[in-house]
């Protein structure tokens, strides 16, 4: 059954970075969320009107045993890649379950390819769904 309850304390956002850069949300503690068995994760971004044609914005869920260091992509969870078209890109989201070996802290890393346009007014979000 898909989980749909969002807790504001288990949600984090960050502005999309400038083209050619990356930015990450603050970490979310999965212990606070009840552990990986008790939740799913949704990542999303709004419509990106300024994402340049054929240029991508990539959202990657990362995990770590530490709250502020050593984050890496979670094996088995695909990234959300959005590629700009003639008029930017539509809003997008993905909701998935964490693997059983997910580490305690998770965050969302957002990267915009070089020449991607100015999308810094758009926020990306990671939210645990209980």
pLDDT of residue 78: 85
Supply the pTM of this predicted model: 0.94
In the predicted structure, residue 33 carries a pLDDT above the cut 80: no
The number of angstroms, rounded, from the C-alpha of 78 to the middle of its chain's C-alpha atoms is 11
Residue with tokens 């999965």, as numbered in its chain: 30
Q: Are 98 and 73 in contact (CB under 8 A)?
A: no
Q: Which domains does the chain have, with CATH numbers?
A: 6-129 (2.60.120.1110)
Q: Are 25 and 10 in contact (CB under 8 A)?
A: no
pLDDT tens digits for range 45-103: 999 999 999 999 999 999 999 999 999 999 988 899 999 999 999 999 999 999 888 99
Alpha-carbon separation of residue 86 from 73, 111, 121 (angstroms)? 30, 20, 19
In the predicted structure, residue 28 carries a pLDDT above the cut 80: yes
């Amino acid at each position: 059954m898909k989980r749909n309850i969002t807790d504001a304390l288990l949600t984090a956002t960050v502005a999309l970075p400038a083209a050619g850069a990356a930015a990450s949300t603050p970490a979310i503690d999965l212990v606070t969320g009840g552990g990986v068995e008790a939740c799913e994760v949704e990542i999303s971004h709004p419509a990106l009107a300024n994402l340049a044609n054929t240029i991508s914005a990539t959202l990657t869920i990362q995990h770590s045993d530490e709250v502020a260091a050593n984050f890496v992509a979670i094996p088995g969870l695909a990234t959300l890649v959005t590629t700009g078209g003639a008029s930017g890109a539509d809003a997008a989201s993905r909701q998935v379950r964490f693997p059983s070996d997910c580490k305690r802290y998770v965050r969302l890393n957002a990267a915009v390819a070089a020449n991607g346009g100015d999308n810094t007014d758009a926020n990306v979000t990671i939210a645990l769904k209980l």
